[in-house]
Chain A
Amino acid sequence: MLELILFYIFAAITLVSAILVITQKNVVHSAVFLASTLLSVAGIFLTLHAEFLAGVQVIVYVGGILVLFVFVMMLISLERSTTERQFSRQWMIALIAAAALIAELGYVIYRGKDSFVLPAADAQAAADTLTGNTEVVGTALFTSFLLPFEIASILLLVAIVGAVVLAKRKTQVD
C-alpha cells in the first residue's frame, strides 16, 4: 500500500513538472522543473528497487546534465530569448499527433494487460535481486556486458572531444 502511495506521489510530481518544463516561457524555470522531474524519476526507480540507478540518475542527470544546461544558459544571453516567440506555429498539429500517440500507446498497453503474461522469474534470479542491487548490476556490467561498457567509455571520450571542438572559441591562429 505504501508502495502504491509513493508511486502515485512520484508519478504526479514527474508528470506535472514535465508539463511545466515544456510550457514555461523562461528557460531557467524549465531547468528548475526539469530538476524536479529528474529527482522524482529517481524516486520512481527507488520504488522499483533499483537503488543504484536512482543514485546514478541523481548524480549524472541532476548533478551533471542539468548543471551543463544551466552553464549554457549562463553563457548565452537570456534576455533576447525570453522576448522571442516560444511556441511554433504548428502546435495544433503537434498536439493532435501527440494525442494520437498517447491514445495508441495507451490502447496497446491496455489491450496487452491480459494477454501479456510474462514468465515467472526463477527462484535463483529472485534471490539475486535481494542480495543488493549495486552488487547485481556491477556483476552483470563487468561480466556479460564488459564490451559494451568499454565501448561506452569510447563514446564518452568522443563526446568530450566533440563538445570541446564545437564550443571552442576561434583563436588567432585560425
Chain B
Amino acid sequence: MVSTYHYLFLGAALFTVGIIGVLTRRNILVILMSIELMMNAVNINLIAFSHHLKHPTGQIFAIFVITVAAAEAAVGLGIVIAMFKNKETMNVNEIDIMKW
C-alpha cells in the first residue's frame, strides 16, 4: 500500500531537483524547465493530499497551478525571445544591464 508519505517524499525530491536546476544552470530555457519541475512537485503534493482526504479541493488547486504554469511558460518564453533578439544570448549571467 502506497502511503501519502511516499508521495510527499517524491514531491520534496522533485522540488529539490528543480531548485538545483534553477541555482546551477545558466541557460534560461533550462531554468524555466526547472520551474516547471517545481510546479509538478507541488501538484504531486496537492493531489496526494486530495487523495488522502478524499476531497477534490486539492485537485482543483492543481488545475489552477497548471493554468498558472501555462501562463508563466507563455510569458517567460516571450521574454526569452525578446531577450535573444536584443542580446543574442541565452546566458542569464550576461543579462546584467539592471545590475549596478
Contact check, B14 vs A136: say whether CB atoms are below 8 A apart. Answer: no
Contact A60 B24 (CB under 8 A): no
Q: Are A94 and B23 in contact (CB under 8 A)?
A: yes
Nearest residue, chain B, Cβ from A102 = B16
Q: Cβ of B27 and Cβ of A27 under 8 Å apart?
A: yes
Interface pair B70/A167, CB less than 8 Å apart: no
In the assembled complex, the CB of A131 is this many whole angstroms from the nearest CB of chain B, namely: 11
Min C-beta distance of A18 to chain B, whole Å: 4
Q: Is the interface of A mostly helix, strand, loop or mixed?
A: helix
Complex Cα gap A64–B66 (Å): 11
Residue A172 at the chain B interface, CB threshold 8 Å: no
CB distance from A124 to the nearest CB of B (A): 9
CB distance from A153 to the nearest CB of B (A): 9
Q: Measured between alpha carbons, how far is A144 from B93 in the docked complex, in Å? A: 45
Contact A76 B90 (CB under 8 A): yes
Contact of A50 among B8, B26, B50 (CB under 8 A): B50
The smallest C-beta distance from B6 to any residue of chain A, in angstroms, reads 6
Interface: B75 (CB within 8 A): yes
Interface string of A14-43 (1 = CB under 8 A from B): 110011011000010011001001100100
- Asked if residues A22 and B17 are in contact (CB atoms below 8 Å), the reply is yes
> 1/0 contact trace for A82-105 toward B, CB 8 Å?
001111101100110110011001
A173 lies within 8 A of chain B by Cβ: no
Give a binary string over B9-52; 1 marks a CB under 8 Å from any A CB, 0 the rest: 11011111111110111110110111011001001100110111
Contact A94 B20 (CB under 8 A): yes
Q: What CA separation (Å) do A126 and B55 show in the bound complex?
A: 8
By the criterion CB–CB under 8 Å, are A19 and B59 in contact?
Answer: no
Contact status A163-B78, CB under 8 Å: yes
Q: How far is the CA of A30 from the CA of B21 in the complex (A)?
A: 11
B77 within 8 A of A: yes
Which A residues contact B (CB, under 8 angstroms)? 3-4, 7, 11, 14-15, 18-19, 21-22, 27, 30-31, 34, 37-38, 41, 44-45, 47-50, 52-53, 56-57, 60-61, 64-65, 68-69, 71-73, 75-76, 80-81, 84-88, 90-91, 94-95, 97-98, 101-102, 105-106, 109, 113, 118-119, 121, 125-126, 128-129, 133, 136-137, 139-141, 144-145, 148, 152, 155-156, 158-160, 162-167
Q: Which B residues are closer than 8 A to A by beta carbons?
A: 1-2, 5-10, 12-21, 23-27, 29-30, 32-34, 36-37, 40, 43-44, 47-48, 50-57, 59-60, 62-64, 66-75, 77-82, 84, 88-91, 93
6 residue pairs A–B, Cβ–Cβ below 8 Å: A69-B32, A94-B20, A105-B12, A109-B9, A125-B55, A166-B81
